[in-house]
Chains A and B, each alone.
Chain A
């Protein structure tokens, strides 16, 4: 097993602690009050889930621009079948997850079947799905009183920690185990790390792409289910603001954009960092634009920093090599 506590994760834990402390001081301790803490953990669930969803497509060298649209359609579809068709809310929740998985599967099949770049496939898919979402709910909002059981689940907590946050952590642990311990997860990493080597080792890279997109969609479905249970209602805005945070969490969390790596803990921690920036906005009266600006800048900064480190490491390595070469030459001359 790789070390779980990497330098990057330590840094992220540090940022979370310092950030929380600053917010605590600015609110004279109120931020750490039960109400505020509960809401923090409740609101961080969706960013974690969609961050993991994006991480899975990144690890096979793809991306998913339809995370928000898949989540939005899954949430609205559930809202419609519960209110109009009388489907029991718990079944509806399950349908949300399945809808996500099916839409992800569609992405995967399109990418493999047409050989069109995943960027285009998921971009087009997201536009189509936004249309579907609008067709489902139009301009209305389906309020949560239609699913009292789910809403109660969304408000419930265990020892003061929201149940939906605990469920999110369980999902994260399953994802981590999947990549660390199962054949399927390892095949995803292998084909993302080096597609031709994977192919020659008997791994179907096509299957890896389909599995990755399906799992990504499934996690978007879970995020939709969580949204249904704690939001006041569902409408066309659900999922609309998921894209940036979905990339921010894995990238800040240390996932290589080229594919072949995952960082579950890093993604979870980074989602918390992003959530802290969000939580700071009402306290410091930031505008929404400022929050987006900060998150965008942090993503750019992280990637730039990673590149810089890479360049320095290779320079360092080549300096060592030439020093060794000189030493060897001196040896020969002697």
Chain B
């Protein structure tokens, strides 16, 4: 077998986060190679470096025996590396055909050769058995169709190496099967394929080899799939994260009035009859795959999306939450967002302002003047409580490490004395040590009587942190599982809720 692509000792750091520490991968021509790892293990970063989206700090890429480095995605494409990224990268205003041909528009005498655009894009769609006219505007497609067009795009330029980042995340079983037929066809023609997936069954059914990343390092280097087992892969993925952490046995009084309760709630975003309750002192996990509707439910609770049916109760009383302001001031519900850079912190402003933003109205005096000393001491209390590492309150939030930024984002909710805290993917992109500190912090907040609704796609994190796990799929609650903190057992229980449902549906 010849080696199509070799990744050696790749390293990439961002301010405060080591995304890749030492990543290695040997990809043989004509093989389907699974790349697995938990969220934040570095899979997407690895793909971005191989495809020229980002540069590596150190390490090397060897393509067909020659060392290469790509300054931009175009260079990678020209070298024969194709990719389907996890995020959607389509131009919604263009047609399907234009989107497929975007990376190399066929030209004739300097103008677009439309006949070839339609013909070539049709060929890609046909490979996937997709019955879509290339002239259809992109915005008329469903989410799953867009995902399939993304894959068709990856097929447009014949690639020596094709990387697929979670291609089946939003596909039905039938659509996924069709995709794998094409994958096998391509690999038979000699294309080397890297498949990033969270779905173990798919990986074992369709891949020839596997590499597992954990915390940015390769912990299972390029093994034939036949030489390993489900259990081994899972334990490598989870690694010491679980073993290291002593799970606290917590007592939660579930007879008390729930701090927040949803009864048969339906939303404009598409949730149907959601019922759940989180009690003071409880960590209620909300697990589901990407697109299951968890963040959307949080938005509905906060008044950002409309609740169209059912009842929301705060401390037993039915309420109507109209805005985030309402949620915060009247009902003391806070939301720690998933994308802290995009939605959690004000990067260009001081720590003081970042934390005090929720309390200005409360502490302000005549004419809306904020008393500086009261503000700083309120902030100082949270900095100490959360042990945030800063040199001064005047430091800008943008200068802090990822973990400390996350703490700053959390501190503003503590300053506002919230009683219910919705925490969305708290440890994505955070290193193991900080992660652990964060877990302990979440327990401490719960012990102090806060009700916590934890959203996470990281099952290991769920099993560690939550008292109960609500399993969500396609905007429906599929089941509630009492957490025994036993990973294999819980994994099976949670997965049976998700898969059981999809069997029913099809």
Contact = CB atoms under 8 A, between A and B. Distances in A.
* A in complex with B: yes
A159 interface: no
Interface in B1-55: 11, 13, 15
Contacts of B329: 202
Nearest to A256: B348
B358 A202 contact: yes
B357 interface: yes
Given A186-B370, A196-B343, 17 more contacts: A183-B360, A184-B368, A189-B346, A190-B357, A194-B347, A196-B337, A197-B342, A197-B344, A198-B346, A200-B335, A201-B357, A202-B327, A203-B325, A260-B346, A317-B15, A321-B13, A322-B57
Q: Which of A184, A199, A200, A318 has the most CB of B within 10 A?
A: A200
A107 B139 CA distance: 32
A256 B367 CA distance: 27
24 contacts: A182-B367, A182-B370, A183-B370, A187-B360, A193-B347, A194-B343, A196-B343, A197-B337, A197-B342, A197-B344, A197-B346, A198-B346, A200-B324, A200-B343, A201-B412, A202-B327, A203-B325, A204-B323, A256-B348, A260-B346, A260-B348, A261-B348, A317-B15, A324-B13
Nearest to A195: B343
B269 to A, nearest CB: 16
Nearest to A181: B369
Contacts of B343: 194, 196-197, 200
Interface string A309-334: 00000000110011011100100000
B358 A2 contact: no
Contacts of B357: 186, 190, 198, 201, 203
B370 A181 contact: yes
A198 to B, nearest CB: 8
Interface string A233-265: 000000000000000000000001000110000
B172 interface: no
Interface residues of A, number: 32
Nearest to A184: B368
Contacts of B335: 200
B14 to A, nearest CB: 8
Interface of A: 1-2, 181-184, 186-187, 189-190, 193-194, 196-204, 256, 260-261, 317-318, 321-322, 324-326, 329
B484 interface: no
B95 to A, nearest CB: 26
Interface size class of B (residues with CB under 8 A): 35 or more
Interface string B337-379: 1000011111111100100011011001001111010000000
Nearest to B57: A322
B388 to A, nearest CB: 17
Contacts of B364: 182-183
A20 B218 CA distance: 65
A184 B357 CA distance: 11
A213 B342 CA distance: 25
A54 B261 CA distance: 47
Contacts of A260: 346, 348-349
A128 B327 CA distance: 41
A200 B304 CA distance: 9
B307 interface: no
Contacts of B13: 321-322, 324-325
B192 interface: no
Contact of A329 (B11, B350, B369): B11
- A-B pairs with lowest CB-CB distance, top 10: A202-B325, A182-B368, A196-B343, A322-B57, A202-B328, A183-B360, A193-B346, A183-B368, A183-B364, A201-B357
Given A202-B329, A203-B357, A321-B57, A194 B346 contact: yes
A197 to B, nearest CB: 5
Q: Which of B329, B335, B349 has the most CB of A within 10 A?
A: B349
B337 A325 contact: no
B202 interface: no
Given A2-B394, A183-B368, A201-B324, A193 B349 contact: yes
A194 B58 CA distance: 33
Given A200-B335, A329-B58, A186 B342 contact: no
A169 to B, nearest CB: 20
Contacts of B57: 318, 321-322, 325
Given A183-B361, A197-B343, A329-B11, A190 B353 contact: yes
Contacts of A190: 346, 349, 353, 357
B424 to A, nearest CB: 10
